[in-house]
Amino acid sequence: MNRFNVKRIPASWDGAALRRFSRSTAAMLLCVVVAGYLALGVASSGSFFEGPSVRVFLQYLATPILIGLAQMVALCVGQLNLAVGALGGFTACLMGVLMADHGVPAGLAVIVGLLTATAIGLVTGLVIVATQINGFIVTLATMTILLGAQYRLTGTRTVDGYSPTLRDLGTAAPLNIPLVFVTALAAAALLAAFMYRTVAGRRLLAAGGNPLAARLSGISTDRQIVAAHTLSGLLIGVAAVTATASLPGVNRSVGGDWLLPSFAAPIIGGVALTGGSIAVFGTVLAAFVTRLIDAARAQFSLDPSWVNLLIGLVVLGTVAGGRLHQTRLGKTGGTAAPPAEGGKQPPAVLPQPGGAR
Amino acid sequence: MSTVLLECHDLVKVFPGVRALDGVGLRLTSGTVHALLGENGAGKSTLIKVLTGVHSPDGGGLTWCGEPVHLRSPLEATRTGIGVVHQERNLIPGFSVAENITLQKPPSHRGLVDREAMTAPALACLAELGVDLDPHQPVRELSVAQQQLVETAKALYTESRVLLLDEPTASLSPQETERLFEVIRRLAARGACVVFVSHKLEEVFAVCDTVTVLRDGKSVLEAAPLADHTHDDIVGLMVGRAHAATEMRPRTVDRTATPTLVLDKVSTAGGHRDISLEVRPGEIVGLYGLVGAGRSELVKAVLGLDRITGGEVRVHGRPARISSPRQALHKFGIGYVTENRKEEGVFLEQPIVRNITVTVWKRLARALGFVSAREERDVAQDHVERLGIRVAGLGQNAGELSGGNQQKVSLAKWLAADTRLLVIDEPTVGVDVRTKHAFHELIWDLARDGLPILLISSDLAEMVTLADRIVVMTDHHVRGEVDNDRDYDRMSGRVIRLIHDRADSSADSADAKAVSG
Amino acid sequence: MTTSISPPDTVPEEKAAGHRMPFWVNQRLGLLVLVVALSVLFGVLRPAFLDQRLVLFPLLRDVATLTVVALAQMVALSVGHMNLAVGRMAAFGAMFAGLGYDRLGLPMPAGLLLCLAAGAAIGAVTGWLIARTGVSSFVVTLAMDFALLGLVSLLYSALTEDAAFTTRPSGIDELRSYSLADICAGPVCGSPAVPQIAQFTVLAMVGLGFLYGCTRIGRELLLTGANPAAAELSGIPTGRRVLLAHTLSGLLAALAGFMAAAGTGTFRASIGNDFMLPSFLGAVLGGTLLTGGVVSVLGTLLGTALVGVIRKGLDLLGVGLESLNIYLGCVLLLALSADRIRTVVSYRKVVRET
Q: B160-206: per-residue pLDDT in tens?
A: 888 888 887 776 777 778 888 888 888 888 888 889 887 777 788 88
Residue ranges in chain C modelled with pLDDT below 50: 1-24
3-class secondary-structure state, position C227: coil
CA pair distance B309, B298, nearest whole angstrom? 12
Distance, first Cα to last Cα, chain B: 45
Q: What's the one-letter identity of residue B6?
A: L
Q: Where are the domains of chain B?
A: 4-242, 269-510
Give the neighbours of chain C: at least 3 Cβ pairs within 8 Å: A, B
- Give the closest of B369, B371, B396 to C19, CB-based: B396
* A311-331 residue pLDDT tens: 888 888 877 776 666 555 544
- Give the closest of C8, C15, C354 to B349, CB-based: C15
Nearest CA in chain A to B309: A335
pLDDT mean over A39-68? 82
What is the pTM for the complete model shown? 0.82
CA pair distance C328, C307, nearest whole angstrom? 7
CA pair distance A207, A209, nearest whole angstrom? 6
Distance from the B434 Cα atom to the nearest Cα atom in chain A, whole angstroms: 30
Q: How many CB pairs under 8 A join A and B?
A: 127
- B4-242 topology per CATH: Rossmann fold (3.40.50)
- Give the closest of B325, B371, B402 to C215, CB-based: B371
| Chain B residues with beta carbon closer than 8 angstroms to that of C237 | 324, 326
C96 vs B341: which has the higher pLDDT: C96
Asked whether residue C215 is domain-assigned, the answer is yes
Asked whether residue C158 is domain-assigned, the answer is yes
CA pair distance A259, C149, nearest whole angstrom? 13
* B73-91 residue pLDDT tens: 887 888 888 888 877 678 8
Label each residue of chain A as H, E or C. CHHHHHCCCCCCHHHHHHHHHHHCHHHHHHHHHHHHHHHHHHHCCCHHHCHHHHHHHHHCCHHHHHHHHHHHHHHHCCCCCCCHHHHHHHHHHHHHHHHHHHCCCHHHHHHHHHHHHHHHHHHHHHHHHHHCCCHHHHHHHHHHHHHHHHHHHHCCCCECCCCHHHHHHHHCCHHHCCHHHHHHHHHHHHHHHHHHHEHHHHHHHHHHHCHHHHHHCCCCHHHHHHHHHHHHHHHHHHHHHHHHHHCCCECCCCCCCCHHHHHHHHHHHCCCCCCCCCCHHHHHHHHHHHHHHHHHHHHCCCCCHHHHHHHHHHHHHHHHHHHHHHHHHHHHHHHHCCHHHHHHHHHHHCCCCCCCC
| Chain A residues with beta carbon closer than 8 angstroms to that of C280 | 137, 140
| Chain B residues with beta carbon closer than 8 angstroms to that of A198 | 111-113
Q: What is the signed CA dihedral for B345, C10, B294, A344, rounded to 10 degrees?
A: 100
pLDDT at A175: 80
Facing residues of B7 across strands? B27, B63
| Chain B residues with beta carbon closer than 8 angstroms to that of A340 | 143-145, 292
Selection from B111, B110, B115 nearest residue B99 by Cα: B115
User: Is the CB of C19 less than 8 angstroms away from the CB of B336?
Assistant: no
Residue A95: pLDDT above 70?
yes
Percent of chain A scored above 90 by pLDDT?
15
Strands B162-166 and B82-85: parallel
Interface of B with A in 214-233 (CB under 8 A): none
At residue A116 the predicted structure's pLDDT band, cuts being 50, 70 and 90, is very high
Asked whether residue C188 is domain-assigned, the answer is no
User: Is the CB of A354 less than 8 angstroms away from the CB of C231?
Assistant: yes
3-class secondary-structure state, position B436: helix
- Give the closest of C14, C210, C223 to B16, CB-based: C14
| Chain A residues with beta carbon closer than 8 angstroms to that of B476 | 339, 343
Residue B387: pLDDT above 60?
yes
- Give the closest of A80, A155, A349 to C134, CB-based: A349
Q: Of the spans A42-56, A200-214, B246-260, which averages the highest pLDDT?
A: A200-214
Q: Does A11 reach chain B within 8 Å, measured CB to CB?
A: yes
Nearest CA in chain B to C12: B399
| Chain B residues with beta carbon closer than 8 angstroms to that of C230 | 338, 343-347
User: Is the CB of B112 less than 8 angstroms away from the CB of A198?
Assistant: yes
Q: Does A18 reach chain B within 8 Å, measured CB to CB?
A: no
Nearest CA in chain C to B417: C234
* Positive/negative CA dihedral, A261, A264, A268, A272: positive
- Residue span of the structural domain in which C272 resides: 27-37+46-180+195-338
What stretch of H or E contains C247? helix C238-264
Distance from the C216 Cα atom to the nearest Cα atom in chain A, whole angstroms: 18
Q: How many CB pairs under 8 A join A and C?
A: 204
* CB count in 10 Å sphere of residue B84: 27
Selection from A82, A77, A71 nearest residue A129 by Cα: A77
* A121-155 residue pLDDT tens: 999 999 888 887 888 888 988 988 888 888 888 87
| Chain B residues with beta carbon closer than 8 angstroms to that of C13 | 15-18, 399-400, 402
Distance from the B175 Cα atom to the nearest Cα atom in chain C, whole angstroms: 32
Q: Of the spans A89-98, B227-236, C335-344, which averages the highest pLDDT?
A: A89-98
CA pair distance A226, A244, nearest whole angstrom? 27
- Give the closest of A8, A210, A346 to B270, CB-based: A346
B4-242 matches B269-510 in fold: yes
CA distances for C124 relative to A144, A353, C121, C274, angstroms: 30, 16, 5, 23
Burial class of residue B393 (count of CB atoms within 10 Å of its CB; 0-12, 13-18, 19+): exposed
User: Is the CB of C150 less than 8 angstroms away from the CB of A312?
Assistant: yes
pLDDT at A60: 84
Distance, first Cα to last Cα, chain A: 34
Residue B504: pLDDT above 60?
no
| Chain C residues with beta carbon closer than 8 angstroms to that of A78 | 2-4
Selection from C341, C313, C353, C349 nearest residue C30 by Cα: C341
User: Is the CB of A202 less than 8 angstroms away from the CB of B475?
Assistant: no
pLDDT at B507: 43
Selection from B472, B34, B477 nearest residue B221 by Cα: B34
B112 vs B507: which has the higher pLDDT: B112
Interface of B with C in 120-149 (CB under 8 A): none
3-class secondary-structure state, position B456: strand
- Least confident segment among A252-261, B231-240, B340-349, B365-374: B231-240
* CB count in 10 Å sphere of residue B70: 10
- Give the closest of C136, C229, C325 to A350, CB-based: C229
* Positive/negative CA dihedral, B314, B318, B321, B322: negative
Residue A234: pLDDT above 90?
yes
Q: Does A215 reach chain B within 8 Å, measured CB to CB?
A: yes
Distance from the B94 Cα atom to the nearest Cα atom in chain C, whole angstroms: 17
Identify the CATH number of the domain in which residue C320 sits. 1.10.3470
Contact B493, B462 (CB under 8 A): no
At residue A335 the predicted structure's pLDDT band, cuts being 50, 70 and 90, is very low
| Chain A residues with beta carbon closer than 8 angstroms to that of B78 | 217-218
Mean model confidence pLDDT for chain B: 82
Q: Name which of B112, B338, B511 to mutate to probe chain A: the one with the most chain A Cβ atoms within 10 A of its Cβ.
A: B112
- Give the closest of C8, C293, C354 to B18, CB-based: C354
Q: Does A339 reach chain B within 8 Å, measured CB to CB?
A: yes
Q: ipTM score here?
A: 0.79
The total number of structural domains in chain C stands at 1
User: Is the CB of A306 less than 8 angstroms away from the CB of C150?
Assistant: yes
User: Is the CB of B90 less than 8 angstroms away from the CB of A210?
Assistant: yes
Distance from the C106 Cα atom to the nearest Cα atom in chain B, whole angstroms: 31
* CA angle, A88 then A92 then A95, to 5°: 140
Give long-range contacts, CB 8 A cutoff, 24+ apart: C29-35.
C31/C285, C31/C286, C31/C299, C31/C302, C31/C303, C31/C305, C31/C306, C32/C302, C34/C306, C35/C302, C35/C305, C35/C306, C35/C309
- B269-510 topology per CATH: Rossmann fold (3.40.50)
User: Is the CB of B292 less than 8 angstroms away from the CB of A197?
Assistant: no
| Chain A residues with beta carbon closer than 8 angstroms to that of C133 | 319-320, 323-324, 353
CA pair distance B467, B85, nearest whole angstrom? 32
CA pair distance C129, C119, nearest whole angstrom? 16
CA pair distance B479, B466, nearest whole angstrom? 20
Strands C267-268 and B210-215: unpaired
Interface of C with B in 277-296 (CB under 8 A): 293-294
Facing residues of B284 across strands? B453
B215 phi, psi to nearest 5 deg? -145, 130
CA pair distance A83, B138, nearest whole angstrom? 33
